[in-house]
Structures are given as structure tokens and as C-alpha cells.
Amino acid sequence: MKLISLLLALAVSASPLSQAAPAKKPGKKNAHSRAKAGTRAEARAAAPPVAVPAAAQAGDPIVFSESEAVNAFADELALRNGFPRAELAALIGQIRYVDAAVQLVKPAPKGKPKNWQNYSRATIEPVRIKAGVAFWNQHAAVLARAQAEYGVPAEVIVGIIGVETIYGKNTGRFRVLDVLTTLAFAYPEAPNQAARMAFFRGELENALLLARKANIDPLSMLGSFAGAIGMPQFMPGSVLAYGVDYDNDGSIDLRNSAVDAIGSVASFLVQHGWQPKQSGPIVYPARVSDDRTWESFLNQGLAAKFRAEELRAGGVSSSAALPASQRYGLIDLPNGSDPTEYRIATDNFFAITQYNRSYFYAMSVIELGRAIRLSRAGQPLASGETL
């Protein structure tokens, strides 16, 4: 019997592997990624997908069916999840090494400074804004429902889906099993190589569990160069853990259902620290003193730790009033040789960074959502407006 028939017949439910925030979206997003990703990694989030032939390539550096490590892993999967071992072997024989995935996850070359203004111009641009207005208009009722039920503003959900895939335009054309297997067993040399390989092995297992749960051919799943799936670019483990059947059709389909994508993004954020009752903007404009005593507030992790009075005492102020009941963090947005910009960030800003561990990413989500909201209302972009 073919693997797919067996997968369709198996109704065993399975819990996803625990997915740590640093590993959510390699190169980006897990859902998710590295703290303050490099410029090259951030730019890749908006890059168009690269097609990779599914057929075997002559001279592939790895034939997975002949790999001792891959076969040992398959033994573990069979024991842990009840997959028939012979059928796993048949599947492995169809999985191909993808060199493009290896090249794309390599660290950015040193020496090129990060530049928030350049990054923001590439992501907060007319194509995404226009597509975002259309997406919001088409799904206004669902976005309003998600905002009411989860407490996540519609513009944040729209911003994330826009930055990730331009509302489904660029969801990726790599076979998910190909890239996950490649990165699980042929990750390029790097200081965190072992951890990354372990992460991708977990996601490879999650992909098979997801295929079984969804009753689909595992080789039919397409995604990014790192295995992220659908409009919101969830890793398989995130689909299992945070995906929502928001259109109530009996399945979670992040590739074809914008409704499921909307609900799943909101679900992810709430389960990663979004505070529905938090008042005020997500980020505030920041001014910093010349004495640089405030530098101790930087690089304090992806969490709001400081009270407004502590920031003020340390030389950080804002033109807007900061609610005294909340805590904040100071983030920096380098601009190459131009002056660095600073923002005062709330818990909800840091919830967005759990989707992709980059200040640039979170700011682009906020600014794109703001631009779409204003454009939809027929209002010009106002300099210095906060969300």
C-alpha cells in the first residue's frame, strides 16, 4: 500500500513538538526566527519564491535514502508516531536535496550595515498597500470578528500577512519535505548548526504529522525555502499548535483559506503574549539623551521590562504620554551611516517579534498595517503617527 493510503487510514492524533521561539522561522519566520535577524535574512522575507524541480538531480550531494542518519531518524518516527517503516522508506526515496535552501539559510556576509529606512521602503510600498486594502475590504467581516474575539487589531493581522506573502501571492513553491529534510540533515556549517538541524528534524516530523492529520499527500505541501506554509508562513509545528479552522469547514488550510489565515495569525499572537486589553499604541516615538546612559535599556531580550519612570530617569522620553501601568522596552533601528532611530516598545510589539525575531520585521508589520488602514480610509500618511 502506498504511504498516502496508509496516512489517510491512520487517525492517530498527535501533539506537535514544542517549538521554541528562536526557531520559528529560519532566515526570517516561525511562524518564526533569530533575534534581530541580519539585513540579508530580513530582506529574504519579502523575496519572491524560487521554484525547485521535484525530480532527482544528477550529482545531488546527498541521496537521503542512503543516509544512515536519515534512516535512523525514520526508525524513530516509525516507533514514535506509528508510521509504517516501509512506507517511510518509500517516501524518503522521493525526497530531494535542495541546495537553494542551504544557500538561503547561510548567515549574511559581514560588513553590510543594517538600514531600517531601506528595509521599510522595500516592504511598506504601493503594491503591498494596494493589495492590503483589497484584502481588508474583501475580508472586513472576518477581520472584525478576529479583532473582537482575540483582541488583535485588524491592521496588525493585515500587516503580517502582507509582509509575509503579499496576501498569498508569494507563498513559496518548494516542496516542504524536500527543504525540511535538506536542512535537517545538511544544514550549512554555522555556530548554531546542531540546534538548527534539531529544529528542522522536529519540523520534518511535524510536517508528516500535519499531512496525516489533514489527510493530504505530504509531498503535495509547498512552502518557503525553510518549509513555512501558506499565507501567514507558518512552520508545520505552528500549524499544528496555533492553526485555527476559522471558516469552520473541518480543516485548517493556510494556503487557500484567507479566513483560516486570519484566525491563525490572531491565535498565534495571543498565545505568544499579545495583551488584548493593553491601551495605547504598540510603539511610541522615542528621544534619547546625549549622555547615552540609556544604552543599558537596549538588548534586554524580547520583552517589555521597564516602567515609564525608569526610562525617563535613564534619558529616554517620548512626545506621547506613556501609560504608567505598562512596561516598555527600548528598541533601536539602525540606518547604516545615518542616525539610528529609537522606539519605545510595548508587550504587544514584542508579541509580534515572536512571529519573527526582528525589530525591523515587527516595525514593518506595524507601519504597513497603519499605511493600509489610512489608505483604506482615504487618508494621507501622517508623519510621526503611531499605532
As annotated, the active-site residues are 164
User: Residue 314: helix, strand or coil by DSSP?
Assistant: coil
The three cell numbers locating residue 319: 512626545
φ/ψ of residue 275, rounded to 5:
-105, 100
Q: Quickly count: other Cβ atoms within 10 Å of residue 277's Cβ.
A: 5
At 106, which helix (H) or strand (E)?
A: none
Q: Report which residue type is found at 198.
A: A
- Pure H helices in the chain: 3-9, 39-44, 68-81, 85-92, 99-104, 116-123, 126-138, 140-150, 154-165, 176-185, 193-214, 236-242, 258-270, 308-313, 347-353, 359-376
Contacts 24+ apart (CB under 8 A), 215-218: 215/7, 215/8, 217/4, 218/3, 218/4, 218/7, 218/91, 218/176, 218/177
Joined together, the cell numbers standing for residue 41 give 535574512
- Encode burial over 188-215: b for 16+ CB neighbours within 10 A, e otherwise: eeeeeeeebbebbbbbbbbbbbbbbbbe
Torsion angle of C-alpha atoms 259, 262, 263, 269, degrees rounded to 10:
170
Angle CA 322–116–290, to nearest 5: 55
Q: Grid coordinates representing 385?
A: 503617527
Q: Cell numbers at residue 55, please?
A: 525530480
**Calpha distance 86→257 (Å, rounded):** 34
